[in-house]
Structure 1
Amino acid sequence: MTEDLKKSSFEPHLNDKFVVQTDTVGNVEVELVEVAEHNRENLECFSLLFKAPKDRFFDQKLYKVKHPKMGEVDLFLVPVVHEKQDALYYEAVFNRLLEKK
């Protein structure tokens, strides 16, 4: 299903809770706090920003991420520095080549 994911797949779930299955700190509940578009010519690009509790750090890696309505998807999550220091933040980036019209 990951190949079918689009920005529009995530937009209705902004501010929803997701669960990241880690092998180091167990299941971590994260909140989707941003869905950002970064499109370029012939490229569909967008990113997701998730907010996690400060005490639940996990490394960048491919994780199974669950959502009650979306089901389970595989996302490569990377810890990122954020202007707010109230939590840990993780980003998933999508870049897809579009067919020329």
Structure 2
Amino acid sequence: MIEKFNVEFMKPYLNTKFRIVVEGFDPLELELINIKEKNQPGLESFSLIFKGPLDRVAHDNTYPIEHDQIGKFDMFVGPFFTPTKKDAIYYQAVFSRLKEE
């Protein structure tokens, strides 16, 4: 599933909810708020930026993720903190792979 993720595939899901699902815990809901593309010769590289609640933190890890339209998949996400934005905890998933010719 995740192998077909690219910028164009993910654009329709901007501002939608994704859930980190860990057995024994309530799902952690994250909103996809930005897709950052980085153009590099020979590489397809982009980041998905998510916004989550302040009351729980998911540490760097590969998690089972659920989305109502995409379905279930595993993805590595990690939190990052910015001094200017204190309204939420932000997460990033980075994709970098060779471009198909």
By how many angstroms is 1:22 displaced?
2.9
More off after superposition, 77-86 vs 28-37: 77-86
More off after superposition, 20-29 vs 43-52: 20-29
Could you tell me how far apart the structure 2 residues matched to 1:74 and 1:55 are?
Answer: 23
Could you tell me how far apart the structure 2 residues matched to 1:46 and 1:94 are?
Answer: 5
TM-score by length of 2: 0.90
Structure 2 residue runs without a partner (length 5+):
none
TM-score by length of 1: 0.90
Q: Specify the alignment match of 1:10 in structure 2.
A: 10
Superposition pairs of residues 1-101 of structure 1, within 5 angstroms: 1-23=1-23, 25-82=25-82, 83-99=84-100, 101=101
Structure 1 residue runs without a partner (length 5+):
none
Q: Across the two proteins, how many residue pairs are aligned to each other?
A: 100
* Structure having the larger proportion of residues in strand: 2
Which 4+ residue blocks in structure 1 deviate beyond 4 angstroms? none
Identity over the aligned pairs, expressed in percent? 39
Could you tell me how far apart the structure 1 residues matched to 2:71 and 2:45 are?
Answer: 22
For 1:44, give the aligned amino acid.
Answer: E
